[in-house]
Chain A
Amino acid sequence: MKNVDILIIGGGPAGLAAGLSAKRNGVENVLILERDKCLGGILNQCIHNGFGLHTFKEELTGPEYADRYVTMVNTEAVPYMLNTMVCDISVADDGDKIVTAMNKENGMMKIKASAVILAMGCRERPRGALSIPGSRPAGIFSAGTAQYYVNMEGRMPGKKIVILGSGDIGLIMARRLKLEGAEVLCVAEIRPKSGGLKRHIVQCLEDFDIPLYLNTTVTCIHGKSRVEGVTLSQVDENMNHIKGTEKFVECDTLLLSCGLIPENELTTAAGASMDPKTGGPVVDSTLQCSIPGLFACGNVLHVHELVDHVSAEAERAGAFAANYVKGR
Chain B
Amino acid sequence: MSRYDVVIVGAGVTGCAIARELARGQRNIAVLEKNADICEGTSKANSGIVHAGYDAKEGTLKAKLNVRGNEMMEELSKKLDFPFRRNGSLVLCFNEEDLPKLEVLKDRGEKNGVKGIRILTPAEVWEMEPNITKDLAGALFAPTGGIVCPFGMTEAFAENASVNGVDFYFEKEVTSIEKTADGFKVICWNEIYETKAVINAAGVFADEIHNMVSDKKLKIVPRRGQYNLLDKKCGDFVDKTIFQLPSKLGKGILVTPTVHGNLLVGPTAEDLDDKTDTDTTAEGMSKVFKEAALSAPDINKKMVITSFSGLRAHFDESGPGDFLIEELDKAPGFFDVAGIESPGLSAAPAIGQYVAEMVNRRFPVPDRIGFVESRKGIPNMANASDEERESLIKQNPLFANVICRCEFVTEGEIVEAIDRPVGARTLDGIKRRTRAGMGRCQSGFCQPKVLEILERELNTDRGNVCKSGSGSEVLKGFTKEDSL
Partner of A252, one of B278, B308, B468, B476: B476
Task: Say whether A104 contacts B400, CB under 8 Å.
Answer: yes
The answer to whether A154 and B448 touch (CB under 8 A), given A107-B393, A219-B282, is no
A158 an interface residue at 8 Å Cβ cutoff? yes
B285 an interface residue at 8 Å Cβ cutoff? yes
Complex Cα distance, B484 from A141, in Å, reads 23
The answer to whether A128 and B468 touch (CB under 8 A), given A102-B400, A103-B400, A108-B390, is no
* Residues of chain A within 8 A of B441, CB atoms compared: 123-124, 126, 142
Binds B, one of A55-63, A175-183, A290-298, A319-327: A175-183
Task: Say whether A133 contacts B462, CB under 8 Å.
Answer: no
A237 an interface residue at 8 Å Cβ cutoff? no
Complex Cα distance, B480 from A156, in Å, reads 9
Partner of A124, one of B308, B394, B444: B444
* Residues of chain A within 8 A of B484, CB atoms compared: 178-179, 181
Complex Cα distance, B440 from A137, in Å, reads 18
Task: Say whether B308 contacts A136, CB under 8 Å.
Answer: yes
User: What's the least CB distance linking A208 to chain B, in Å?
Assistant: 9
B59 an interface residue at 8 Å Cβ cutoff? no
**Restricting to A99-113, which residues have a CB under 8 Å from any CB of B?**
100, 102-105, 107-108
* Residues of chain B within 8 A of A139, CB atoms compared: 474
Task: Say whether B389 contacts A153, CB under 8 Å.
Answer: no
A159 an interface residue at 8 Å Cβ cutoff? yes
Task: Say whether A225 contacts B444, CB under 8 Å.
Answer: no
Task: Say whether A104 contacts B442, CB under 8 Å.
Answer: no
Task: Say whether A135 contacts B278, CB under 8 Å.
Answer: yes
B374 an interface residue at 8 Å Cβ cutoff? no
A238 an interface residue at 8 Å Cβ cutoff? no
The answer to whether A226 and B471 touch (CB under 8 A), given A83-B401, A108-B389, A156-B477, is yes
A156-190 interface bits toward B, Cβ cutoff 8 Å, 1 = contact, 0 = none: 11110000000000000000001111100000000
Partner of A181, one of B406, B466, B482: B482
B273 an interface residue at 8 Å Cβ cutoff? no
The answer to whether A107 and B390 touch (CB under 8 A), given A128-B304, A224-B276, is yes
Task: Say whether A133 contacts B402, CB under 8 Å.
Answer: no
Task: Say whether A127 contacts B466, CB under 8 Å.
Answer: no
Task: Say whether B469 contacts A225, CB under 8 Å.
Answer: yes
Counting contact residues on chain A (CB < 8 A from B), the size range is 35 or more
* Residues of chain B within 8 A of A135, CB atoms compared: 278-279
User: What's the least CB distance linking A35 to chain B, in Å?
Assistant: 7
A249 an interface residue at 8 Å Cβ cutoff? no
Task: Say whether B444 contacts A155, CB under 8 Å.
Answer: no
A149 an interface residue at 8 Å Cβ cutoff? yes
Complex Cα distance, B462 from A178, in Å, reads 22
* Residues of chain B within 8 A of A144, CB atoms compared: 444
Complex Cα distance, B386 from A100, in Å, reads 9
* Residues of chain A within 8 A of B472, CB atoms compared: 137-138, 225-226
Complex Cα distance, B466 from A139, in Å, reads 10
Partner of A133, one of B280, B467, B475, B478: B280
Complex Cα distance, B445 from A129, in Å, reads 16
Complex Cα distance, B444 from A126, in Å, reads 7
Complex Cα distance, B151 from A4, in Å, reads 43
* Residues of chain A within 8 A of B285, CB atoms compared: 131, 133
B449-484 interface bits toward A, Cβ cutoff 8 Å, 1 = contact, 0 = none: 000000000000011001111111111111111111
* Residues of chain A within 8 A of B284, CB atoms compared: 133
A-binding residues in B (CB < 8 A): 228-229, 233, 276, 278-282, 284-285, 304-308, 386, 389-390, 393-394, 397-398, 400-402, 405-406, 408, 440-445, 447-448, 462-463, 466-484
CB<8 Å pairs between A and B, sample of 6: A83-B400, A103-B400, A104-B397, A107-B394, A145-B448, A181-B481
Apart from the given pairs A135-B279, A144-B444, A180-B483, 6 other A-B contacts in the complex at a CB distance below 8 Å: A103-B400, A104-B398, A136-B278, A138-B474, A226-B472, A265-B406
